[in-house]
Structure formats: C-alpha cells, structure tokens
C-alpha cells in the first residue's frame, strides 16, 4: 500500500514537474515584447503623401513599407499627387480628415504643407517626414542630411578643380526646384565649401527643375560661355544625365567632372558606366525606407505619446559611388526589393 502511495506520489510529482516545465518552455519561447508589438501595429492606418510615385526613391520606399505593413498587419495607403502641389494639398487635407494613426509626407518645398502639418499634429495625428523637410518640424524626419550632401558634392568638385592640374576653377550648380528643402539646405553646404575654397568660381547656378532636357540646355549654353569648365554638380542623377549628354556632345567628358546625388537605383549606375556621370552620392533609398519603417513602428507603438511631443531626426547613410563601385547594393532594382 505504501509502495502504491509512493508510486502515485512520484507519478503526480513527475506530472506536475512536466507541466511546470511545459509552462516554463512556453513562456521562454514567447519573445519578450513581441505580443504587445504586434498588438500595437495591427489594424493601424498609415497614409503616405509623396511628391510623385514616378520617382525611383518613392517606389523603393513604398515597396519596403508595404512589406513591413503586410508582415505586421497595419495598412499603408499612398495618395499620389503626381507632382502637382495643389493635388498634394488636397491629399493632405483628405488625410487629416480621415484621422489615420500616422501620416508620412514627402514635402515638395519647405512652405506648402507647413500649416497642414501643424493642423495634423493638433488633430493628434503623428507625422513622419521623409527626405524633404518642411519648415514645420514634426514627430520625425527620416532622410538625407542635405547640408552634408551640398558639402560632399561641392567638396568633390573642389578636389578636382582647385589642384595645380585643374583645367580651371569654374564650377556649375544645377539646382532642382529652388524652394525645395534639398536645394535650400544643399546651398548652405555648397556655400561653406565655396567660402573655404575662394579660388572656386561658381559660374552658373541655374535650376534645371529636375528635368534632364533643361539640364542639357543649360549645360550646353554654359559650355559655350566657359569652354574651360571644370565641374558640374546637380541634385538628381536622372536629371543630370542631360548635363552629361551636353558634355559628351561637346567632347569634354575628360575635362568636366559631373557630380550628383541619387537614390542609388541601377539607372544611376548605368549612367556612370556609360560615362554620362562621374560621381553619385548615393543616399540608398531602400536603407532610408528601412530606417523609416522602424520609425513607423516606434510611432505606432506609443499611442500614449501626444503627436508632436517628441521630435526625432534620422539621417541615412551616404555612399560615394563612381565607376569603381557602381555594382551590387549601390545599384538596386525595384524587383530586388520586392
């Protein structure tokens, strides 16, 4: 009888231990914080108002965010104004009226959405700005350090055009849209380099408005005025191919250095390979998109924090790409990101 009691006791103890072990195992395999993370993102609504979805950087951002949204169960809607500022204002007004959990916005310039962004924050909507800032600072900005970009590009020209073997000290700045944040801040960086290198001569600073044909026309005209031009810097690789075409048509590819920046897509690398561009400072849009995705997660995880109560800035990495490294991750294709 005693033996039976002992066996029963031993069996029950074993069962209890097994059960406890099971419970412990179950607790250990549930990654700490994962459940509340999933819970905080699930069913949330994010609206993105870009400048235009026809641009390489926008497409890569959205591919990355859509992957993130599908994995963690929040919705991402893109309201594309297709480069039309008025349509952008309407898209922003519509987005604010819908009261999503987060608005992501790429500003066409520093002023247009400034008041709307304030309205969104007052309405309790968190706002993440990407790559192009507004005069209004919001919860977060993820994108380029444009002043640094100006320094890097003009610094590159300073290297080429101030040495003893430089053909001249003449450089050109082919701006984009002059009221855009990128232009305004890049100009600050450019001016710093020009101040540090007084021998550099900025012989033209025409805006090409991100248009390759306009960039070509300006370059063609400037080359007539300054046949000894040393360098050209621009703001988007897809536009500066026009400058490259004008330089190539004048047979001055060895003389004129063309520096620009871009999202890092394969077309930019092709332009380097076929000699239309020399250096692209690549801000790698897919990496920017990943940083922004983390910001989306953070902003959605803390609904208790009031919109606009914290202001964060993340500058993405910038890689100098020339013909020695125009390969691999420096030259993404949209299909690679999907």
Partner 1 sequence: MELAGSGKSDGGRIGLKLSQELVVVAISVILFVVFSATLNNFLSRGNIIAILKNVSILGTLAVGMGFIVVGRGIDLTMVAVMVVGVAFSIWISTWGVDFTLAVICGAILAASIGLFTGIMVAVAEIPPIFATLAIASSVYGSGRIVFASDVLYAPPNIAWLKFVGSGTILGIPMSVVIFAAVAALMGFFLRKTRFGRLVYATGDNPNAARTTGLPTRPIIVTQYVISALIAFTAGIIMTGLVTGIDTRLYNSSLIYDVLLVVVLGGIGLSGGQGGVRNIIVGTILVGILTNGMTILNFSYTSQNLIKSVILLCALAIDAIINPRDEQTSQSGDI
Q: How far is the CB of 105 from partner 1 (least distance, A)?
A: 19
Residue 82's CB is within 10 A of a number of other CB atoms, namely: 11
User: Does 214 participate in binding partner 1 (rule CB under 8 A)?
Assistant: yes
Output 65 or 74, the one with its CB closest to partner 1: 65
Q: Are 205 and 173 in contact (CB under 8 A)?
A: yes
Output 40 or 60, the one with its CB closest to partner 1: 60
What whole-number distance in Å separates Cα of residue 85 and Cα of residue 63?
23
Pick from 45, 72, 75, 83: which binds partner 1 (CB under 8 A)? 83
What whole-number distance in Å separates Cα of residue 75 and Cα of residue 102?
10
Pick from 75, 197, 217, 253: which binds partner 1 (CB under 8 A)? 217
x/- track of binding to partner 1 for residues 24-63 (CB under 8 A): ----------------------------xxxxx--x----
Q: Are 293 and 268 in contact (CB under 8 A)?
A: no
Q: Which of 76, 91, 79, 80 is nearest to 54 (CA)?
A: 80
x/- track of binding to partner 1 for residues 256-285 (CB under 8 A): -----------x--x---x-x---------
Output 311 or 338, the one with its CB closest to partner 1: 338
Q: Which of 143, 131, 102, 96 is nearest to 115 (CA)?
A: 96
Output 203 or 291, the one with its CB closest to partner 1: 203
Q: Which range of residues in 2-10, 65-73, 205-213, 304-312 is near partner 1 by CB under 8 A? A: 205-213
Output 223 or 259, the one with its CB closest to partner 1: 223
Contacts for 157 with CB less than 8 Å, ≥ 6 apart: 171, 200, 230, 231, 233, 257, 259
x/- track of binding to partner 1 for residues 165-204 (CB under 8 A): -------------x-------------------------x
Pick from 45, 75, 84, 89: which binds partner 1 (CB under 8 A)? 84
Q: Are 236 and 260 in contact (CB under 8 A)?
A: yes
Output 100 or 176, the one with its CB closest to partner 1: 176
Q: Which residues in 221-260 contact partner 1 (CB under 8 A)? A: 221-225, 227, 238, 241-242, 245, 248-249
Q: How far is the CB of 69 from partner 1 (least distance, A)?
A: 19
| Count of chain residues binding partner 1 (CB under 8 A) | 41
Q: Which range of residues in 70-78, 121-129, 216-224, 305-313 is near partner 1 by CB under 8 A? A: 216-224
CA atoms within 13 A of residue 149's CA, in its CB half-sphere: 33
Output 59 or 162, the one with its CB closest to partner 1: 59
- Strand order of the β-sheet with 126-130 is 75-78, 45-49, 102-105, 126-130, 140-143, 312-315
Task: Compute the Cα dihedral for 38, 39, 45, 47 and give only its sign.
Answer: negative
Instruction: List the beta bridge partners of residue 170.
Output: 201
264: left (phi over 0), alpha (psi -120 to 50) or beta: left
Output 267 or 301, the one with its CB closest to partner 1: 267
- Residue 120 token pair: 């969104």
Q: Are 49 and 79 in contact (CB under 8 A)?
A: yes
Instruction: Return the H-helix or E-strand segment holding 74.
Output: none
Q: How far is the CB of 258 from partner 1 (least distance, A)?
A: 13
User: Would you tell me which residues interact with partner 1 (CB under 8 A)?
Assistant: 52-56, 59, 82-84, 178, 204-214, 216-218, 220-225, 227, 238, 241-242, 245, 248-249, 267, 270, 274, 276
């Amino acid at each position: 009888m005693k033996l039976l009691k002992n066996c029963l006791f031993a069996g029950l103890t074993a069962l209890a231990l097994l059960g406890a072990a099971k419970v412990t195992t179950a607790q250990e395999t549930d990654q700490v914080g994962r459940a509340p993370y999933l819970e905080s993102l699930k069913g949330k609504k994010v609206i993105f108002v870009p400048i235009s979805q026809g641009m390489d950087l926008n497409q890569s951002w959205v591919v990355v965010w859509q992957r993130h949204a599908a994995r963690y169960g929040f919705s991402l809607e893109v309201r594309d104004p297709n480069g039309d500022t008025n349509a952008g204002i309407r898209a922003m007004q519509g987005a604010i009226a819908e009261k999503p959990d987060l608005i992501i916005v790429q500003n066409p310039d520093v002023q247009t959405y400034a008041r709307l962004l304030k309205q969104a924050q007052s309405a309790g909507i968190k706002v993440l700005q990407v790559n192009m800032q507004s005069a209004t600072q919001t919860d977060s900005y993820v994108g380029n350090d444009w002043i640094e970009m100006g320094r890097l590009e003009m610094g590159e020209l300073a290297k080429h055009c101030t040495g003893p073997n430089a053909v001249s000290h003449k450089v050109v700045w082919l701006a984009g849209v002059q009221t855009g944040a990128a232009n305004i801040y890049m100009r600050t960086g450019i001016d710093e380099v020009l101040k540090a290198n007084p021998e550099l001569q900025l012989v033209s600073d025409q805006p090409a408005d991100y248009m390759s044909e306009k960039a070509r026309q300006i370059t063609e005209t400037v080359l007539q005025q300054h046949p000894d031009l040393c360098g050209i810097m621009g703001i988007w690789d897809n536009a500066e191919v026009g400058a490259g075409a004008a330089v190539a048509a004048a047979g001055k590819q060895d003389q004129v250095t063309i520096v620009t920046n871009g999202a890092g897509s394969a077309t930019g690398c092709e332009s380097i390979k076929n000699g239309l561009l020399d250096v692209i400072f690549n801000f790698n849009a897919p990496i920017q998109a990943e940083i922004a995705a983390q910001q989306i997660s953070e902003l959605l995880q803390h609904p208790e924090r009031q919109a606009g109560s914290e202001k964060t800035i993340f500058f993405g990495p910038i890689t100098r790409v020339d013909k020695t490294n125009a390969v691999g991750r420096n030259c993404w294709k949209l299909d690679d990101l999907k």
